[in-house]
């Protein structure tokens, strides 16, 4: 078990007491190297120290290990012992450091002057102003004059905030706002399961999964956790492979992992669900149903014979029937639905349909666990926010405080939340960085970023991750809790807030909790929890039986094609979540998994439709709904069915720092103002886009050279059918591989002598049956190897610097796509090596294709002669603004202009591991270490090791019948060996 | 040292020069140099000299040396690191052909030039006293070293053979 | 070849001197304007390069995957131009083709300058040009050496050898004429030319050794000239890029090189002949013979185009096939077709004596072939890079950047600049050879 091996050489530290906050930072622009007079504990120059903390980039709350070098945190990895992340991180988690080092964070407290500009002030002054405003508000009397809007928070900080408000005499003044608040899902759960909550799902126990537009591998609830579960559900295991069906209007990253994508007209997914239910009931495939439930369900679906469902959804009725058969035939099938009101119409209906479908198979209901429900359950519903807005407009609120939320961006433009804020007399923001909402604040009291903070966050019942300051504050910021406490003390006096600081409050809170949990020694508990990164007592094994109320719900008649224009799909992406990631430089630089587009949003439209409308790639369109209009470039691509338009969420910021501002476009501006009275969510009618060309163009910075493989499937991404795979395995066939080993020598075709390796032959196996295309490996590589960031203009000139990329190729029928993780193949016969006139690239004794930056003078012949095109050239000396360069990994050279670079298999990690091993007096063992990309891969699709060791995982895997090499006919003998994706023919 | 006497006959036409040379040789007058503004096979034949001079031996040496230099350089430098590049053997046989060939040409040419200069004892900054500027333009010349005794006869012969002018020079 | 191709209408040796050397001294205003313009062009090129060194190669429009742009196109182009000089002066000398007499000198000069310029382009193309000396096998205490298995090192060896040899060849040929000038001038000129003539006497002995040396030079230069462009072609043929990896490249490139070189000879000599009134020396028949040779090279090049595509189809390699299909239909197809027309089709016209003997026709065909040959290199280099194995990594080198244009202009300017200086200060026709070809005899 590699995690265990990792853990024994990872040194996890917990900081005892907030006194020991780390050194080395202070003013960002420091130019001097000052030796430590008295070195801080744990900080050994040249030695990395890992601190456990929790990722707060999204509410999933994954456990992280922050790698600290000389007081600066340079890399984050998943916390192996954390139940949510299990040692992995997604793309957003890997990119979180660019939130910490974001050059557009507030440098310190500021106050808006009469001209509307922000003047820097001291913390004393800032807190004094706030205290004064608060007292004034309180003096007016009444319980609702002070409101704090935060993102989803739990535990001590939530406790403190509510205590603080109640001390101020305010009721329910704490509003937790999240754009993705799953009202529809909660409503559906209430309808079907009698629980108005977001449950925990367990995919790993399933044998069939149908997702109604739920992008559970991208952003849905807890994507990393789901990706891990998915990895034990979907990829081939033994002889069999479970089926995953996706029903939705867009070929999302998640959809592209499905064995079958049922493309629907946006908002008609529920019809497919009902069709399936109807088919199951008609065919009597769900026997064990209590009569009255059966009657109730039948009455609901009576109006939905398969044909009608199919007609409504615009799909083939045979598909629905076969899926129904598969679902009924499976032992533990599960149906899930996205339940996000903003994205497509009828989210609630779809979610209800999915839940009803689940109830037909009581066996798998235990995969839906409400006993450890997700904390998202407590997020404020849209109607609550609407109510808040109304109170703001009617001047019932005197003091409004924002912390880490950006409703001005993420609420429908039609709400005009900005105007509502302007009507509040005093607005303060605790957000760490500028955003559209903070821009309206009168007072800026920037709080710490999560990496600088103490805290706790619990993504769901039974799991709490702790946060500890893994480095000193980068800017002149303060912990939210400390701001509250000190202002509170100013107003209500010391005694009412009996803690030194928030750390004190945190400990107090957990003393209570641990006492309740019956833990004897708090100090041990505390030290251990901080060190391991959280507190997660053993779970009760099984989820309690769900009591199913008799469901009743009326589904809408399928509305006729209303008006002209293209139905709109709004969707969250794995990189931007709800848009909060857009100010992370890395996230802008990473290509979107499906469209491979960077730096700016786009409107997806099927090439056929685009042709009909005469739209070309990059045409800047003016897109109108009845509620708003945006300008966004067209991107003809096969990810949407004909006649449908899709726009990703996340771009279109107008005041979100230098990296996000000014890129098109924000689909929230197209949504309507009304509320859905059923679910309390924003009402999402079927929005039909009116599209007109502006005549301008906004070039799309995509990194893919072509949509297709042009008949080269066998060279790049061959697939294998399950039958074929099993046949080969049974008959003991070996894959045809040119091993990058002495064994790989064949007299018949080898012109050059055989290679011999004594100690190691580093190699990687990429299991394309596990790869979900999420791009976490790319993010990990960027942060581990100081890969340069080229920004939009260079991206447009094809000069991205990524060392590893997830290449997307559409199948010939353009109904789906394949991914290929492409990195330096470290070939035995590397074509790039011999063309260099000065040996800058050459082969190492351990099989690495070394690239000596200092020796390279940039003829670029190596890249020209590299069939995999994984070598990157430094066209300029690419730099990054302060303090982003603090993140640079000191173990890896920063490259100068005119130098070629490429994947090094994390050679510095190899060296470190070899040193460790030598100190232990042994060779490096399999699993001692791994590369940054393999380390973070949520599905463990990347496996790294030495082929010299016959027991290593790679040595075993390269003999799998699915093994192949890219462009094998060139006889380069790559050391990156791929395992084919296994496809199942679903009988339709 | 004693003054050297020389007679220089200057001719305008190649055919006259050639016949003059032939006559002189018939009369056993030793011709010390023939000057001409152009390369002429006829003159060479008249003087009965071979087509290729000793210069070619310089070229041969250069060629051999060059070949060896090229091969040595390539192989020596390869042995210094024994890099494994693209799976090729560290000591290449095929690739060495090109450096070997190019150095073979280069050094052969340098030697040829060196030989040419050496055999002519040039560069020399001073021209002999009997040299006439017209030799490089439109006149031919025959130089005969003589003694007080036969000077007269030689110049007479040259005149008869059609020399435009015959001058006595003391060096 | 008949003597008729030789110089016409010269009464005596003196006349040859007067005409050819006389042309050097008073070039006139037109000449100086050209000098000024080209000098300006050189400055532009230089400043563009300086800018690129300061900012980085991003200044050029090259990208991943098309890592090599116009710089290497120019490199191959200029090396190509350099080939006709040696062809005319060495190979034709061995073949005793007397019509070479009056054009050998200037085409050799052309060769020297072209190689010099070609040699600059790999440097311009380098990412860190300030470290270029690493490619030279010089002893150093780190004991680091170049990689003698790399095609680029082959290049360095071949091109530098070629530069040295062609220069020495040219210089040796100059010596008699330098002597002539020395003897016709006085004062400082006399000194300078005297110095460079190395005290040439023109005695029979000198002429003999000179003859030997010249013959051997020719004998050595002939295989060299073949090897140089073969080596250049192997820069590509030794790569695995579809469109480069082909065994016919060596002869294909050599033919192409001579093709472009002869075209450049026409483009240079036709005006020179006019300006210096050398019609009687560089006779129509000389130009005609050049034209005939162009027909030959043109046919070879055309054949290569055809065979390349045939091989691609015959190989059955997907990437290979599609590469050539794309060449004819893709982004660079217009370059491809223009190239075919200019290089393979247009020269056919020279089969007609009418065309062959019409000065404007010859000149314009020369220009067209030059354009065609430049495009050929573009199509081969950039076209192949842009469309390699992995469709994901296809990418277009759309057009050269301003910097690249500047450097292109700079290179042409430098070439003509040097050639103008040459025409001013050195005899553009080998006087000694002309005299050799003259029939000056007293008939009695």
pLDDT digits (tens, 9 = 90+) for B82-134: 888 988 888 888 899 999 999 999 999 999 999 999 998 888 878 888 888 88
Percent share of chain A, pLDDT over 90: 76
Q: Give C-chain residues touching A835 at CB under 8 angstroms.
A: 150-152, 238-239
Residue (of A152, A87, A221) closest to A458 by Cα position: A152
| Token pair listed for A326 | 């598969």
ipTM: 0.92
Helix %, strand %, coil % for chain B, to 5?
50, 15, 35
pLDDT of residue A40: 62
| Closest CB to B43 among C204, C213, C216 | C204
- In sequence order, which residues have a C-beta less than 8 Å from that of residue A342 and are 6 or more positions away? A179, A412, A570, A649, A668, A671, A682, A684
Chain-chain contact of A834 with C319 (C-beta, under 8 angstroms): no
Alpha carbon distance A455, A157 (integer Å): 7
What integer is the mean pLDDT of C262-268?
Answer: 93
Alpha carbon distance C253, A284 (integer Å): 76
pLDDT of residue A390: 94
Average per-residue pLDDT in chain A? 90
| Closest CB to B102 among C158, C184, C440 | C158
B88 close to C (CB below 8 A): yes
Chain-chain contact of A873 with C127 (C-beta, under 8 angstroms): yes
C275-324 pLDDT per residue, tens: 888 888 888 999 999 999 999 999 999 999 999 999 999 988 889 999 99
Residue (of A378, A333, A329, A367) closest to A546 by Cα position: A367
pLDDT of residue A377: 93
pLDDT of residue A29: 40
What integer is the mean pLDDT of A638-665?
Answer: 94
pLDDT of residue A547: 73
What integer is the mean pLDDT of B25-47?
Answer: 87
pLDDT of residue C3: 44
Per-residue confidence band for A427, with pLDDT thresholds at 50, 70 and 90: very high
The pLDDT of residue A10 is above 60: no
**Closest chain A residue to the Cα of B93, Cα to Cα:** A752
The pLDDT of residue A308 is above 50: yes
Chains touching B by CB (3 or more pairs below 8 Å): A, C
The pLDDT of residue B61 is above 60: yes
Per-residue confidence band for A35, with pLDDT thresholds at 50, 70 and 90: low
Q: What is the maximum alpha-carbon separation in chain C?
A: 85
Q: Give C-chain residues touching B108 at CB under 8 angstroms.
A: 216, 220
| Closest CB to A865 among C55, C240, C318 | C240
Run of H or E residues at A297: helix A291-301
Q: Give A-chain residues touching C160 at CB under 8 angstroms.
A: none
Q: Give A-chain residues touching C391 at CB under 8 angstroms.
A: 705-706, 708-710, 712, 809
How many residues would you count in chain C? 444
What integer is the mean pLDDT of A478-505?
Answer: 92
A192-228 pLDDT per residue, tens: 998 899 999 999 889 999 999 999 999 999 999 999 9
Q: Give B-chain residues touching A841 at CB under 8 angstroms.
A: 85
| Token pair listed for A921 | 């007096």
Per-residue confidence band for C15, with pLDDT thresholds at 50, 70 and 90: confident
| Closest CB to A831 among C135, C147, C240 | C240
The pLDDT of residue A905 is above 90: yes
A753 close to B (CB below 8 A): yes
Taking only residues 74 to 93 of chain B, the set having a beta carbon closer than 8 angstroms to any beta carbon of chain A reads 81, 83-89
Helix %, strand %, coil % for chain A, to 5?
30, 20, 50
Q: Give C-chain residues touching B56 at CB under 8 angstroms.
A: 212, 216
Chain-chain contact of C212 with B138 (C-beta, under 8 angstroms): no
A848 close to B (CB below 8 A): no
| Token pair listed for A669 | 């501006």
pLDDT of residue C444: 53
Q: Give A-chain residues touching C151 at CB under 8 angstroms.
A: 835, 861
Residue (of C204, C240, C219, C429) closest to C320 by Cα position: C240
The pLDDT of residue A5 is above 60: no
Q: Name the one residue in this structure whose structure tokens are 């008939």.
A: C443
Of A174-188, A884-898, B145-159, C193-207, least confident by mean pLDDT is B145-159
Alpha carbon distance C126, A914 (integer Å): 36
A64-85 pLDDT per residue, tens: 999 988 888 999 999 999 999 9
Residue (of A82, A61, A84) closest to A10 by Cα position: A82
Specify whether the CB–CB gap between A485 and A505 falls below 8 A. Answer: yes
The pLDDT of residue A747 is above 70: yes
pLDDT of residue A544: 67
What integer is the mean pLDDT of A762-776?
Answer: 96
Residue (of A96, A47, A10) closest to A581 by Cα position: A96
Triad A723, A727, A732: Cα angle to 5°: 150
Of A293-307, A755-769, C215-229, C407-421, least confident by mean pLDDT is A293-307
3 state SS for A830-855? CHHHHCCCCCCEEECCCCCEEECHHH
Q: Give B-chain residues touching C137 at CB under 8 angstroms.
A: 73, 77
Q: Do β-strands A849-851 and A963-964 pair in parallel, antiparallel, or remain unpaired?
A: unpaired
**Closest chain C residue to the Cα of A801, Cα to Cα:** C64
Interface test with A, best of B79, B85, B87 (most A CBs within 10 A): B87
- Phi then psi for A701, rounded to 5 degrees? -90, 75
| Token pair listed for B168 | 């006595």
| Closest CB to C239 among A705, A809, A864 | A864
Chain-chain contact of B123 with C442 (C-beta, under 8 angstroms): no
Per-residue confidence band for A38, with pLDDT thresholds at 50, 70 and 90: low
The pLDDT of residue C441 is above 60: yes
What integer is the mean pLDDT of A416-441?
Answer: 95
Of A118-127, A851-860, A873-882, B84-93, least confident by mean pLDDT is B84-93
B2 close to C (CB below 8 A): no
Per-residue confidence band for A859, with pLDDT thresholds at 50, 70 and 90: very high
Per-residue confidence band for A293, with pLDDT thresholds at 50, 70 and 90: confident
pLDDT of residue A30: 43
What integer is the mean pLDDT of A345-359?
Answer: 92
Q: Name the one residue in this structure whose structure tokens are 């007479």.
A: B156
What is the Cα Rg of chain C in Å?
Answer: 23
**Closest chain C residue to the Cα of A819, Cα to Cα:** C392
């Amino acid at each position: 078990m590699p995690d265990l091996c990792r853990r024994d050489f990872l040194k996890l530290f917990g900081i005892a007491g907030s006194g020991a906050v780390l050194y080395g930072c202070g003013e960002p622009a420091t130019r001097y190297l000052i030796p430590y007079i008295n070195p801080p504990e744990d900080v050994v120059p040249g030695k990395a120290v890992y601190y456990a903390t929790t990722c707060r980039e999204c509410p999933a709350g994954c456990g992280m290990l922050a790698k600290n070098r000389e007081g600066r945190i340079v890399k984050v990895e998943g916390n192996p012992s954390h139940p949510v992340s299990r040692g992995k991180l997604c793309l957003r988690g890997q990119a979180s450091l660019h939130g910490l080092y974001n050059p557009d964070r507030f440098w310190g407290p500021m106050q808006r002057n009469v001209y509307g500009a922000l003047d820097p002030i001291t913390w004393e002054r800032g807190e004094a102003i706030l205290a004064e405003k608060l007292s004034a508000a309180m003096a007016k009397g009444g319980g609702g004059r002070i409101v704090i809007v935060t993102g989803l928070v739990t535990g001590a900080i939530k406790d403190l905030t509510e205590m603080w408000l109640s001390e101020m005499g305010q009721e329910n003044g704490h509003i937790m706002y999240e754009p993705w608040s799953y009202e529809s899902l909660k409503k559906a759960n209430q309808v079907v399961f009698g629980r108005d909550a977001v449950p925990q799902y367990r995919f790993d126990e399933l044998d069939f999964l149908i997702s109604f537009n739920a992008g559970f591998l991208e952003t849905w609830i807890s994507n990393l956790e789901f990706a891990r579960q998915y990895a034990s559900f979907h990829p081939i295991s033994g002889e069999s492979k479970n089926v995953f069906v996706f029903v939705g209007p867009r070929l999302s990253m998640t959809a592209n992992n499905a064995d079958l994508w049922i493309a629907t007209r946006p908002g008609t997914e529920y019809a497919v669900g009902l069709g399936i239910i109807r088919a199951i009931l008609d065919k009597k495939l769900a026997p064990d149903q209590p009569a009255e439930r059966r009657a109730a369900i039948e009455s609901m679906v009576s109006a939905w014979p398969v044909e009608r469902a199919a007609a409504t959804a615009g799909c083939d009725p045979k598909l629905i029937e076969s899926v129904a058969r598969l679902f009924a035939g499976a032992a533990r099938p599960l149906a899930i639905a996205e339940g996000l009101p903003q994205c497509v119409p009828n989210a609630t209906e779809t979610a209800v349909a999915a839940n009803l479908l689940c109830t037909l198979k009581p066996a798998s209901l235990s995969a839906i666990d409400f006993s450890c429900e997700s904390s998202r359950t407590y997020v404020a519903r849209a109607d609550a926010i609407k109510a808040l807005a109304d109170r703001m407009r009617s001047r019932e609120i005197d003091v409004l405080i924002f912390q880490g939320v950006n409703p001005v961006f993420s609420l429908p433009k039609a709400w005009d939340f900005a105007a509502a804020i302007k009507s509040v007399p005093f607005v303060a923001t605790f957000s760490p960085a500028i955003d559209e909402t903070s821009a309206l604040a009168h007072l800026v009291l920037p709080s710490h970023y999560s990496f600088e903070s103490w805290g706790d966050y619990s993504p769901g019942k039974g799991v709490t991750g702790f946060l500890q300051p893994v480095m000193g504050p980068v800017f002149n910021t303060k912990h939210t809790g400390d701001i509250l406490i000190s202002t509170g003390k100013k107003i209500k006096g010391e005694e009412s807030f009996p803690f030194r600081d928030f750390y004190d409050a945190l400990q107090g809170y957990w003393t209570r909790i641990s006492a309740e949990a019956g833990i004897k020694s708090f100090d041990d508990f505390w030290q251990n929890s901080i060190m391991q990164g959280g507190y997660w007592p053993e779970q009760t094994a099984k989820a309690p039986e769900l009591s199913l109320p008799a469901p009743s719900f009326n589904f809408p008649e399928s509305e006729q094609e209303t008006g002209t224009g293209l139905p709109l799909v709004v969707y969250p992406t794995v990189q931007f979540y709800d848009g909060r990631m857009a100010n992370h430089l890395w996230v802008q630089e990473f290509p979107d998994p499906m469209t491979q587009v960077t730096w700016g949003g786009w409107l997806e439209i099927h090439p056929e439709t685009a042709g009909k409308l005469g739209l070309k790639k990059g045409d800047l369109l003016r897109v109108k709904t009845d509620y708003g209009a945006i300008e966004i470039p067209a991107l003809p691509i096969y990810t949407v069915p004909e006649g449908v338009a899709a726009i990703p969420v996340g771009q279109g910021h107008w005041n979100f720092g230098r990296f996000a501002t000014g890129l098109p476009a924000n689909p929230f501006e197209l949504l309507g103002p009304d509320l859905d009275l059923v679910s309390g969510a924003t009402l999402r009618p079927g929005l039909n886009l009116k599209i007109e060309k502006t005549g301008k163009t906004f070039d799309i910075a995509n990194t893919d050279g072509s949509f297709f493989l042009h008949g080269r499937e066998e060279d790049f991404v061959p697939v294998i059918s399950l039958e074929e795979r099993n046949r080969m395995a049974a008959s003991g066939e070996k894959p045809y591989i040119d091993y990058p080993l002495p064994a790989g020598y064949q007299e018949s075709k080898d012109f050059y002598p055989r290679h011999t390796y004594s100690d190691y032959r580093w190699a990687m196996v990429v299991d394309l049956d596990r790869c979900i295309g999420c791009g976490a490996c790319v993010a990990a590589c960027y942060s581990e190897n100081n890969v340069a960031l080229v920004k939009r203009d260079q991206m447009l000139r094809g000069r991205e610097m990524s060392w590893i990329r997830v290449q997307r190729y559409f199948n010939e029928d353009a109904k789906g796509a394949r991914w290929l993780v492409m990195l330096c193949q470290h070939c035995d016969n590397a074509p790039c090596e011999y063309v260099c006139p000065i040996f800058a690239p050459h082969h190492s004794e351990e099989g690495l294709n070394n690239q000596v930056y200092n020796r390279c003078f940039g003829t670029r012949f190596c890249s020209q002669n590299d069939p995999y095109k994984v070598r990157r050239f430094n066209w300029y000396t690419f730099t990054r603004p302060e303090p982003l360069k603090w993140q640079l990994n000191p173990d890896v050279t920063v490259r100068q202009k005119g130098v070629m670079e490429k994947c090094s298999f994390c050679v510095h990690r190899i060296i470190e591991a070899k040193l460790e091993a030598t100190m232990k007096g042994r060779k490096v063992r399999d699993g001692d270490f791994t590369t940054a990309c393999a380390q973070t891969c949520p599905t463990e699709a990347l496996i790294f090791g030495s082929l010299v060791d016959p027991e290593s995982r790679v040595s075993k895997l390269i003999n799998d019948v699915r093994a192949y090499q890219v462009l094998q006919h060139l006889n380069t003998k790559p050391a990156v060996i791929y395992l084919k994706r296994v496809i199942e023919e679903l009988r339709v | 040292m004693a003054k050297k006497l020389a007679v220089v006959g200057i001719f305008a036409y190649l055919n006259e020069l050639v016949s003059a040379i032939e006559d002189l040789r018939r009369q056993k007058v030793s011709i010390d140099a023939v000057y001409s503004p152009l390369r002429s096979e006829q003159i060479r034949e008249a003087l009965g000299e071979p087509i290729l001079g000793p210069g070619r031996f310089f070229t041969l040496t250069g060629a051999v040396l060059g070949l060896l230099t090229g091969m040595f350089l390539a192989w020596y430098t390869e042995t210094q690191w024994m890099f494994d590049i693209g799976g090729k053997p560290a000591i290449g046989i095929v690739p060495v052909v090109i450096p070997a060939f190019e150095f073979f040409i280069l050094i052969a040419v340098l030697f040829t030039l060196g030989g040419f200069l050496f055999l002519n004892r040039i560069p020399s900054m001073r021209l002999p006293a009997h040299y006439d500027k017209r030799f490089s333009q439109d006149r031919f010349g025959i130089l005969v070293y003589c003694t007080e005794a036969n000077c007269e006869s030689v110049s007479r012969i040259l005149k008869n053979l059609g020399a435009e002018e015959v001058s006595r020079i003391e060096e | 070849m008949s003597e008729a191709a030789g110089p016409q209408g010269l009464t005596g040796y003196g006349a040859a001197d007067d005409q050819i050397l006389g042309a050097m001294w008073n070039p006139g205003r037109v000449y100086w304007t050209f000098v000024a313009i080209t000098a300006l062009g050189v400055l532009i090129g230089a400043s563009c390069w300086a800018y690129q060194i300061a900012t980085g190669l991003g200044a050029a429009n090259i990208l991943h995957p098309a890592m090599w742009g116009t710089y290497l196109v120019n490199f191959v182009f200029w090396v190509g131009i350099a080939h006709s000089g040696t062809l005319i002066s060495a190979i034709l000398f061995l073949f005793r083709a007397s019509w070479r007499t009056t054009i050998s000198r200037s085409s050799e000069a052309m060769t020297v300058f072209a190689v010099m310029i070609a040699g600059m382009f790999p440097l311009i193309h380098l990412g860190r040009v300030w470290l270029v000396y690493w490619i030279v096998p010089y002893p150093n205490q780190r004991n680091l050496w170049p990689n003698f298995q790399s095609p680029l090192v082959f290049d360095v060896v071949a091109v530098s050898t070629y530069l040295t040899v062609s220069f020495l060849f040219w210089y040796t040929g100059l010596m008699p004429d330098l002597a002539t000038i020395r003897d016709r001038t006085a004062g400082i000129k006399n000194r300078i030319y005297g110095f460079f003539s190395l005290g040439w006497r023109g005695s029979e002995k000198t002429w003999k050794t000179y003859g030997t040396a010249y013959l051997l030079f020719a004998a050595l230069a002939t295989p060299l000239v073949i090897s140089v462009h073969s080596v250049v072609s192997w820069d590509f043929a030794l790569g695995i890029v579809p469109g480069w990896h082909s065994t016919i490249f060596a002869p294909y490139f050599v033919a192409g090189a001579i093709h472009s070189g002869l075209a450049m000879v026409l483009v240079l000599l036709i005006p020179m002949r006019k300006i210096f009134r050398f019609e009687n020396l560089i006779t129509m028949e000389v130009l005609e013979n050049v034209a005939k040779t162009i027909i030959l090279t043109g046919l070879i090049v055309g054949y290569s185009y055809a065979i390349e595509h045939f091989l691609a189809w015959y190989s059955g390699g997907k990437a290979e096939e599609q590469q050539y299909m794309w060449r004819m239909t893709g982004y660079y197809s217009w370059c491809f077709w223009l190239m075919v027309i200019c290089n393979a089709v247009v020269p056919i016209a020279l089969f007609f004596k009418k065309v062959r003997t019409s000065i404007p026709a010859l000149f314009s065909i020369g220009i067209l072939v030059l354009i065609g040959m430049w495009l050929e290199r573009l199509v081969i280099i950039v076209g192949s890079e842009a469309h390699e194995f992995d469709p994901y990594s296809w990418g277009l080198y759309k057009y050269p950047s301003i910097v690249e244009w500047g450097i292109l202009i700079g290179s042409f300017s430098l070439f003509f600049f040097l050639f103008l200086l040459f025409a001013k200060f050195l005899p553009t026709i080998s006087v000694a050879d002309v005299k050799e070809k003259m029939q000056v005899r007293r008939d009695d």
